[in-house]
């Protein structure tokens, strides 16, 4: 009975702590930092895609001809590159990401990209391709049918193309053949946490939260790295699990991200701006040009004379000015309140972007402006 009561009490305390942390804007250390040494590794390989319906590399791609020749020789067929006239093969680069702790037999997604002059990889099959790491060792083998999200057809000098037909994808198309040893424990038995977004305030809060929640010896080397010394006798896996479950309220950087091409604006709602007065108006200039033909009178015209038909352009210029928008705010107004007020003045997103750029230059916008 006591064991059941203790279990219920622990569950209630954990549930209450989780609800409080989530309600206060706290996130897990697992979402803010990663264990140093636990990472993905890029794999790359060179291969050929076969089975294309005449949309592969042409005879100008000598690398493809040589690859087909070498492939056939591995099956006992001795040919010259001059004997290969088919356009049903294409040379490709195959890429994949090998996750941490991947074991032999695990499956990986692979991306296939043409490097020759193939028109399309639709309907092709990737021939067995070894995937190597940065140390030139083979860690996986890729093979399978391509899924291409586009097509390209040509007939009678007409071309119909959709999306990008020279890039393909093979879900679960590679098999891991070698394990990568992940060294995530330092020589002195400590663990290192690398912040995904380095920040001095967040690093200090993580140090205090881990020291309180785990009792470990925690030290911040700089804004992006924290060293943790687990308690003696505790396993490394248990220590990492305990560290990643701690809750921390991260420091949010004041940034305003704008994209002028798409008219997108993303910002934190609590960013403050200084007291400013904004006046914004737009002028629209329209020029309409009509062309008139001046035809001389008379049916017969002497060719030696200078009388001829003349095209006369006539232009009409119209200038219209929209209603000028005027806004004034108090000190400490948030950017959310500013944008809401500008929207009420019926300003477009592009107009608001121009205003924010002007605010940044004037020093009234207390945030980093990121222009994409």
Chain segment 196-254, per-residue pLDDT in tens = 989 999 999 999 999 998 889 999 999 999 999 998 888 999 999 999 999 999 887 78
Query: Treating both helix axes as pointing N-terminal to C-terminal, what angle do 349-362 and 335-344 enclose, rounded to 10 degrees?
Result: 140
Q: What is the model's pTM?
A: 0.68
Residue 85: what pLDDT?
A: 80
- Is the separation of the CB atoms in 176 and 155 below 8 Å? no
Torsion over CA: 212, 218, 223, 224 (sign): negative
In order of start, what are the domains of the chain with their CATH numbers? 41-176 (no CATH), 185-248 (3.30.70), 256-296+309-371 (no CATH)
180-199 mean pLDDT: 91
- Is the separation of the CB atoms in 167 and 120 below 8 Å? no
Give the 3-state secondary structure of residue 20: helix
Residue 301 predicted with pLDDT over 90: no
**Kind plus residue range of the DSSP H or E element containing 144:** strand 138-145
Rounded Cα gap, residues 307 and 316, in angstroms: 28
Chain segment 259-298, per-residue pLDDT in tens = 777 777 787 767 777 777 777 665 454 545 565 666 666 5
- Is the separation of the CB atoms in 299 and 316 below 8 Å? no
Residues pairing with 27 in the sheet? 248
Residue 157 predicted with pLDDT over 70: no
Buried b (16+ CB within 10 A) or exposed e, 272-297: bbeebebebeeeeeeeeeeeeeeeee
Q: Which of 73, 112, 102 is nearest to 182 (CA)?
A: 102
140-163 mean pLDDT: 74
Q: Which of 187, 190, 186 is nearest to 231 (CA)?
A: 190
Q: In this structure, how many other beta carbons lie within 10 angstroms of the beta carbon of residue 371?
A: 12
- Is the separation of the CB atoms in 275 and 305 below 8 Å? no
Residue 156 predicted with pLDDT over 60: no
Rounded Cα gap, residues 104 and 177, in angstroms: 5
For residue 53, the number of C-alpha atoms closer than 13 Å in the C-beta half-sphere is 6
Rounded Cα gap, residues 314 and 18, in angstroms: 74
């Amino acid at each position: 009975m006591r064991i059941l009561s203790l279990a219920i009490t622990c569950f209630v305390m954990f549930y209450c702590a989780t609800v409080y942390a989530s309600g206060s804007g706290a996130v897990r250390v697992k979402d803010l930092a990663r264990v140093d040494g636990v990472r993905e590794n890029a794999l790359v390989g060179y291969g050929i895609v076969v089975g294309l319906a005449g949309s592969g590399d042409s005879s100008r791609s000598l690398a493809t001809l040589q690859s087909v020749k070498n492939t056939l020789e591995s099956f006992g067929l001795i040919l010259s590159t001059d004997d290969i006239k088919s356009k049903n093969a294409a040379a490709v680069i195959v890429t994949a990401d090998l996750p941490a702790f991947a074991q032999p037999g695990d499956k990986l997604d692979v991306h296939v990209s043409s490097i020759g002059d193939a028109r399309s990889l639709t309907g092709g099959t990737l021939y067995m391709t070894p995937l190597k790491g940065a140390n030139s060792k083979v860690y996986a083998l890729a093979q399978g049918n391509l899924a291409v999200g586009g097509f390209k057809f040509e007939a009678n000098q007409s071309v119909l193309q959709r999306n990008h037909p020279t890039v393909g994808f093979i879900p679960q198309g590679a098999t891991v053949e070698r394990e990568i040893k992940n060294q995530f424990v330092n020589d002195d038995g400590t663990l290192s946490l690398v912040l995904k977004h380095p920040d001095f305030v967040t690093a200090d809060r993580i140090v205090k939260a881990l020291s309180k929640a785990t009792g470990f010896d925690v030290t911040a080397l700089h804004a992006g790295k924290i060293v943790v010394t687990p308690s003696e006798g505790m396993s490394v896996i248990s220590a990492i699990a305990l560290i990643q479950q701690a809750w921390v309220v991260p420091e949010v950087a004041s940034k305003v991200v704008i994209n002028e091409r798409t008219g997108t604006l993303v910002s934190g709602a609590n960013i403050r701006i200084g007291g400013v007065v904004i006046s914004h108006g737009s002028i629209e200039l329209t020029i309409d040009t009509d062309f008139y033909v001046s035809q001389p009178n008379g049916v017969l015209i002497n060719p030696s004379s200078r009388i001829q038909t003349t095209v006369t352009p006539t232009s009409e210029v119209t200038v219209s000015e929209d209603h000028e928008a005027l806004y004034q705010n108090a000190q400490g107004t948030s950017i959310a309140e500013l944008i809401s007020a500008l929207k009420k003045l019926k300003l477009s997103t592009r107009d608001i972007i121009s205003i924010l750029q002007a605010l940044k230059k004037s020093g009234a916008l207390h945030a980093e402006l990121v222009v994409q």
